[in-house]
């Protein structure tokens, strides 16, 4: 399941991120992946090794954890430090899937990935985040401060930027529910439960859906 979260961070948080990022040196993104991906990864990054990454990661993770949709849809167990990436003219990232295990010295299984867009879409051309979906493509270029979340195992790429600068924060989530289909199912049941409560109150229908969701979590959650 791919889902978007508009205005995840406030304008003040956005400006704080931009201030930290502008005061930090970037390095070539190809050094954080293996040899094969390094040939198709052309961007600049701020990595977890740099001290400024700590407040950036903390701000982004706090914003994600206060978002009800993110919490419900991902069932996040843990998140690792984030990366900041930058694409200028001529830069792109070819088709790939993110690594299944991410992070050092505390690795996590990467069940979901997210991208927090920091640049206004009108300020750059190209740079769409594209996903393979059957025999079609889905392209996203969200407003600044918005997030897209997607299953980490999904083939995706970033189109070449031809004007301006694409700036984003990317990160990964280990979910309590490993299977993406079951993770989506529990989210559907949870949404249905909440809709029933809003329209009918906490009666028998709510109780049954609440029971179903609790038992789904009990059956499939990994702590």
| CATH number, position 80 | 2.60.120.620
104 among annotated binding-site residues: no
The whole-number pLDDT of residue 211 equals 98
Do 136 and 201 share a domain, yes or no?
A: no
The whole-number pLDDT of residue 29 equals 78
The whole-number pLDDT of residue 5 equals 98
98 among annotated binding-site residues: yes
Do 8 and 111 share a domain, yes or no?
A: yes
Do 35 and 129 share a domain, yes or no?
A: yes
C-alpha to C-alpha distance for 101 and 99, rounded to whole angstroms: 6
User: What is the total count of domains within the chain?
Assistant: 2
213 among annotated binding-site residues: no
Q: Which domain holds residue 37?
A: 3-175
Q: Where are the beta strands (DSSP E) in 121-182?
A: 125-126, 129-133, 136-140, 147-151, 156-158, 161-163, 166-175
Do 166 and 191 share a domain, yes or no?
A: no
Do 46 and 144 share a domain, yes or no?
A: yes
Q: Is the pLDDT of residue 48 over 80?
A: no
Percentage of residues of the chain with pLDDT beyond 70: 100
Q: What is the mean pLDDT of residues 122-131?
A: 98
Q: Is the pLDDT of residue 81 over 90?
A: no
Do 70 and 14 share a domain, yes or no?
A: yes
Do 168 and 148 share a domain, yes or no?
A: yes
Residues in CB range of 18: below 8 A, 6 or more apart = 118, 167
Beta bridge partners of 78: 174
For the chain, what is the mean pLDDT?
A: 95
Q: Tens digits of per-residue pLDDT, 2-28?
A: 999 999 999 999 999 999 999 999 988
The whole-number pLDDT of residue 87 equals 98
C-alpha to C-alpha distance for 55 and 59, rounded to whole angstroms: 6
The whole-number pLDDT of residue 200 equals 94
Do 167 and 185 share a domain, yes or no?
A: no
Q: What is the mean pLDDT of residues 193-204?
A: 95
The whole-number pLDDT of residue 112 equals 98
Position 35 confidence tier, pLDDT thresholds 50, 70, 90: confident
Q: What is the mean pLDDT of residues 52-68?
A: 96
Residues in CB range of 144: below 8 A, 6 or more apart = 14, 117, 118, 119, 120, 121
Q: What is the mean pLDDT of residues 117-132?
A: 98
- DSSP code per residue over 109-125: E--EEEEEE-S-GGG-E
Do 40 and 135 share a domain, yes or no?
A: yes
Do 86 and 150 share a domain, yes or no?
A: yes
Q: Is the pLDDT of residue 103 over 90?
A: no
Do 19 and 40 share a domain, yes or no?
A: yes
Do 191 and 116 share a domain, yes or no?
A: no
**3-state DSSP helix/strand/coil percent for the chain, to nearest 5?**
35, 30, 35
Q: What is the mean pLDDT of residues 50-61?
A: 93
């Amino acid at each position: 399941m791919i889902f978007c979260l508009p205005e995840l961070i406030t304008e003040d948080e956005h400006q704080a991120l931009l201030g930290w990022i502008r005061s930090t040196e970037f390095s070539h993104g190809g050094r954080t992946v293996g040899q094969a991906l390094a040939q198709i990864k052309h961007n600049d990054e701020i990595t977890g090794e740099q001290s400024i990454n700590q407040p950036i990661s903390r701000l982004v993770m706090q914003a994600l954890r206060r978002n009800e949709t993110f919490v419900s849809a991902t069932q996040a167990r843990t998140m690792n430090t984030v990366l900041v990436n930058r694409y200028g003219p001529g830069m792109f990232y070819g088709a790939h899937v993110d690594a299944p295990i991410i992070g050092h010295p505390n690795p996590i299984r990467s069940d979901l990935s997210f991208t927090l867009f920091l640049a206004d879409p009108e300020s750059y051309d190209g740079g769409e985040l594209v996903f393979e979906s059957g025999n079609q493509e889905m392209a996203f270029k969200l407003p600044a401060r918005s997030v897209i979340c997607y299953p980490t195992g999904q083939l995706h790429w970033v189109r070449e930027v031809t004007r301006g600068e694409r700036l984003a924060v990317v990160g990964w989530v280990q979910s309590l529910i490993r299977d993406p289909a079951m993770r989506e199912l529990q989210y559907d049941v949870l949404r249905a439960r909440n809709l029933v409560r809003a329209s009918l109150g906490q009666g028998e229908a709510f109780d049954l859906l609440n029971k179903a969701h609790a038992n789904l979590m009990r059956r499939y959650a990994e702590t």
